[in-house]
Amino acid sequence: MANTAPKVAAEERREAPAAVDKKAEALAKLIRKSKHLVVFTGAGVSTSAGIPDFRGPEGSWTLRAQGRERTKPVNTLQAIPTATHMTLVELQSRGILKYLISQNCDGLHRKSGILPDRISELHGNSNREYCKDCNKEYIRDFRAVASYEKTAHDHRTGRKCALCGGVLLDTIINFGESLFTEPLQRARDHAEKADVFLVLGSSLTVSPANELPEPSGRKKTTTTTASLAICNLQDTALDGLADLARCRASTSTATPITFLRSVKLEYNRRVARSEPFVIAFRGDLDPGTELKLELEFMGNYGEPNLDIIFRYSGDEEEEKAAYLLEYNPQNGEWKVTEQADCAADHGASGNLRRDGNANIVPAEASVFPSEAMPASTANSVPEIIEID
């Protein structure tokens, strides 16, 4: 990863809306006809979410080269996936987008709902950590790095795997480190298969990622043809290979998810503050007993605490209940729906057993704000609490 930029940023140029519309129509036709669409994203797709780029006029490396500091700190945890992120999710849902390659570490693609087997996050994800022993990955609603001081190349986060107890490591690629082999190879494989390769918001400066679009630009034979389209405000080294003329426009605004800070059972003084959020209670429960769980969230989107009420039926078998939790950061309101099918494949799960423990642990999911989703995915599962 390159961490340099000239003191004077490359010129950013914006085309007239009519010109952009014309190129967008041409691109849409290419995408409709594509058999293997691959999209490559850089920092430019997240600028409208409030996250600065690196080499723009106010980019992080540009400011550093000029000896300036950013006046307002940026908290990527509070960023919401933009319309661009959600459009890519919609293309994925329709089976059009075959693979996404990203240089971004902000985690917005995974938050938006891009499936883990459909993306290579080449430079890592600041919200993702994985087990050194069993390779299980975890998505956090906090920066998945160590809270203690350590060297840059020590990737231990200080947490342990919930499955095997192994050491968890962060996924960030620091300067001087090689990219993870597997995601890079998957990216290369899909780049070779691509018949349409779309670059969004990248100056294509950092190697080896910047080499991935090139095969599509050069794939012009009698038997094989591919199209390369680049949408970026600054020039790139591959502009001359692009089939679709550069579009100079700004982008619009099976993993455990950790979004809970704590869980508290009413009338119980102890608060569970770490996974799997085990709460012990004394004595047997009478059938019909209502248990009120207060959920405290990470608060990155201003989420208020939420009460979930579970009614114990007294069944000898383990009980299970699942709740769909939808939070709208625009109005600060929760919508809670009890799910008929408790075998939840998404969100967070919990156990309430007669052995005197109440557990809430992560399950497989992607978490994304419901108001940011296109209509066709607005009813997808943002967060689920499952109690059994």
Catalytic residues: 123
Instruction: Residue 275: name the closest of 142, 367, 110 by CA.
Output: 142
Instruction: Residue 183: name the closest of 259, 146, 128 by CA.
Output: 128
Q: Are 169 and 155 in contact (CB under 8 A)?
A: yes
What is the DSSP secondary structure assignment for residue 72, as one 8-state letter? S
Give the span between the Cα atoms of 212 and 123, in whole angstroms.
14
Q: Are 384 and 324 in contact (CB under 8 A)?
A: yes
DSSP string across 223-256? S-B-EEEEE-SS--TTGGG-SEEEE--PPP---B
State phi, psi for 306 to the nearest 5 degrees. Answer: -135, 135
Total Cβ atoms within 10 A of residue 248: 19
Give the span between the Cα atoms of 361 and 117, in whole angstroms.
23
- Scan for tokens 């729906």, then name that residue: 337
Give the span between the Cα atoms of 2 and 182, in whole angstroms.
21
